[in-house]
Structure 1
Amino acid sequence: MHALLKLLTAALFTCLSLAAYGEKLRIVTEPWAPYVYEDQGAMYGLDYETTVIVFQRLGIEVQWQFLPWKRCLVMLDQGSADGALDIFHSQERDAQLLYPSEPLSDVDFVLFYANERPHPAQHLGDLRGLTVGTSPGYLYGAEFSDSALFNREPAPSHEANFGKLLLGRIDLLITDRRVGQHLIKTLGLEGKVSQAPLVVSRQPQFLAVRRGAGMDLLVQRFAAELKRFKQEPGYVALSARYGGIPGIAAAERTVEQQESSAP
């Protein structure tokens, strides 16, 4: 009981300190449907709306900002952002960021190829000599990123990668399964692009915050409330609205990171 009281008291002081200075928790993220995206000035998405609900229950106000992903990372490094939505865990970031024990969602990084030039890869060895389109700032796993078997070529957006794929400028592209299927549908590429069998990596994504006074207790409260919400009918309905597992909401629009804004 003493430990619980200490936890609640410290977390309360964290919330009160933000309110006392008229501050909001500054969260940055990149639009990435169906997890988080913007449409006509409004924000939507499974992970975004889940996070909003959890923070509302915790009594914490949030200031959101959409930026290219590499710019989000720079803002975290500079201390001009308090946290990031839908970030992967990495040991390099442990000294800077705190991660809740409960992830928001899971990402499956898979490969897509043009049907006119099929490369239905089942293993990384099947990519020997090929060029794979990537996105700056993403963590695909060491086995993929460090491999010398194939070439990696970044593009300013996932849409650009699909365009390069159709033009034959790359052999495959890598992205999240849900995001890729969404773009195939919204770009009208059904029958032109297919998903390869290989799952390159599977990674949970989190709402992570910079280390600071009371933040460790904040992420504990966030994880507990997130886990509780995931067991409620409201989360089931929210997940279903965005296509369930692993579907896609047809009306969503993806805006991806731009290399021109990278540091």
Structure 2
Amino acid sequence: MRTMIVRQAANRFALYTSAVVFLAGTSSFLASDASAAETIRITNGEWQPFMSKHSYQFGVNSHIVAEAFKLEGIDVEWGFFPWKRSYQVAKTCQNWHASATWWPAQETLESFLLGDAISETSFVFFHRKDRPFSWQTFDDLYGLVVGTTLEYDYGTDFMNRIENYELNVEWVADDETNFRKLAANRIDVFPNDLTVGLAQIRASLSPDEAASITYHPKEFEKSTLHLIVSKQCDKAEYFVEKFNAGFRKLKESGRFDAMQKDLANGVYDGKGAAQLN
């Protein structure tokens, strides 16, 4: 009798142990499956507050891209490079699938699929307040020193004039250097997107330097910025569809509008005291 009781207890223990092992294995499998989220690898560059490794959530456009994909169950892995390299390494789809965020230039349309427009951009001319400036055509820039940033495209007409030596331009490596040169009276005007320019001024100049700079309201080269996915990628259409679907959800939820308010309030750029009038 005692032997039978011991055997029954042993059998019950064996069943209990097997159940625990099975449940633990199932739990481990589920956890592993849940953690294996799909990932898209996207190159990026410096143009704060839209994109920057130094900005909150890597800039507002980067934030929008990441949140749109997140709503579709896709993680984003970012890689920051100089703009030319950012474009080229994404184009081959060897290690990176996409790049954020670009104008819909003809060259880009030939090699990439574009997601829905994330933001609108245009250029204005920044200048010093004590150097009055007005313009209607690029001919009005004759005799002025124009600051320009390497690897930037300012539009076909503007770039053609540079190539034909019709504009006196000085190239530097980044926008912030151009703003410092403008504040120091070393250039006369500098073209940049208004939102980008104001953010860079707040982040890179002293209050006194920032207060010395204003801009002419006339815009040129209006365009939009897009996530671009290489046509070389097998899942290019899939990634664009997923981004667009997540982007629609982001807008419908009101979070996109909240991000735009944060953009206007300087959340995505460095902090500075001065505002331009």
Bigger radius of gyration: 2
Would the aligned equivalents of 1:37 and 1:253 in 2 still touch at CA under 8 Å? no
Hey, what does 1:114 align to over in structure 2? 128
How does 1:40-55 map onto structure 2 within 5 Å?
Answer: 43-55=57-69
1:237 aligns with 2:258: yes
TM-score in terms of structure 1 length: 0.77
Verify: 1:160 aligned to 2:180, yes or no. Answer: no
Check 1:228–1:85 CA distance in 2 against 1; reply closer, same or farther (3 A cut): same
| SS in structure 2 at match of 1:51 | helix
The structure, 1 or 2, with the larger RCO (C-alpha pairs under 8 Å, 6+ apart) is 1
Q: Please tell me whether the aligned partners of residues 102 and 227 of structure 2 are also in contact (alpha carbons under 8 angstroms).
A: yes
In 1, Cα distance between equivalents of 2:138 and 2:253: 39
Number of residue pairs matched by the alignment: 229
Query: What do you get for the CA RMSD once the two structures are aligned?
Result: 2.6
Provide the C-alpha distance between the structure 1 equivalents of 2:202 and 2:74, rounded to a whole number of angstroms. Answer: 37
TM-score, normalising length: structure 2: 0.74
Deviation at 1:104, TM superposition (A): 0.9
The question of whether the paired residues in 2 share the 8 Å contact of 1:38 and 1:253 is answered with: no
Which of 116, 126, 147 aligns to 1:133? It is: 147
Q: Which whole-Å deviations, capped at 9, do the CAs of 1:193-225 have from their partners, x for residues lacking one?
A: 110132121110011111122312321332233
Deviations 1:75-98 (CA, angstroms, capped at 9, x unpaired): 224444211111111111223211
For 2:198 and 2:238, how far apart are their aligned partners in 1? 37
Distance of aligned partners of 1:239 and 1:73 in 2 relative to their CA distance in 1, 3 Å threshold: same
Where does structure 1 lack aligned partners over 5 or more consecutive residues? 1-18, 255-263
Q: Deviations over 1:120-157 (max 9, x none)?
A: 33432211232321222222211211125422322111
In the TM superposition, what whole-angstrom CA distance separates every residue of 1:40-73 from its partner, at most 9, and x where no partner exists?
9x63422111111111122222210122212212
Question: In the TM superposition, what are the counterparts of 1:58-137 in structure 2 within 5 Å?
Answer: 58-79=72-93, 80-100=95-115, 102-137=116-151
Give 5+ residue unaligned stretches, structure 2: 1-33, 272-277
SS at match of 2:201: helix
Identity across matched positions, percent = 27
Mapped to 1, the partners of 2:50 and 2:268 lie a distance apart of 13
Question: What is the aligned partner in structure 1 of residue 221 from structure 2?
Answer: 201
Q: Paired residue for 2:3?
A: none
Aligned to 2:44: 29
The 1-side partners of 2:178 and 2:146 are apart by: 9
CA distance in 2, matches of 1:217, 1:251: 29
Q: Which has the higher helix share?
A: 2
Partner AA of 1:231 in structure 2: E
